[in-house]
Amino acid sequence: MKKRREIIVCIAAALLTRCAPAPKPVESARDETKELWYAETVEKLAAMNREAESYFEKGKGDDAAALIEKGQPMVKRLLTPPHPTLEAEQAASDLNHLYARMLLSNHHYGWARMLFQQNVARWKHWRPQSPETDRRLKQAQDGIVECDKHLD
């Protein structure tokens, strides 16, 4: 009798749940890479990279470092979406590459290697591959080789 009652309760529960309205479809997340702020931030970071590169080449490491530090939150925000744009990845890569070169010139080989390795991972797994992504991958790999010469 008890078992029969459990079966009836289960059947009733199943029937009642079938009468419930269909769940609402999950709203698709907005694509931040299509928003105006995203493109503006990519452009601003690229310009800061060029300025920092110029400072570094002129021997003004402190000025370059200040711009690199200012660019870090921008990189984080640009790379937050599930599929950042190629331009955002390039701007982030350029910032990493410059910072790694600065660290290398200051004999901070381990930290420099870590940044070069981030770029290796970025460009090794980027799809679709292109001559530009291949060039950037080779550039990062060469940076790792340079660091390793000093770490051994």
Parse the chain into domains and list their residue ranges: 32-151
Three-state SS for 41? helix
Kindly give the confidence (pLDDT) of every residue in the chain, 152 residues in length, as a single tens digit, with 9 standing for 90 and above. 666 666 665 565 555 555 556 556 555 578 999 999 999 999 999 999 999 999 999 999 999 999 999 999 999 999 999 999 999 999 999 999 999 999 999 999 999 999 999 999 999 999 999 999 999 999 999 999 999 999 97
Burial of residue 124 (number of CB atoms within 10 Å: 0-12, 13-18, 19+) = middle
Q: Is the pTM of this model over 0.95?
A: no
Predicted local confidence at residue 15, as pLDDT: 55
Assess contact for 151 and 113: CB atoms under 8 A.
yes
Peptide bond into 21 cis (omega under 30): no
Predicted local confidence at residue 62, as pLDDT: 96
Predicted local confidence at residue 137, as pLDDT: 98
Predicted local confidence at residue 152, as pLDDT: 75
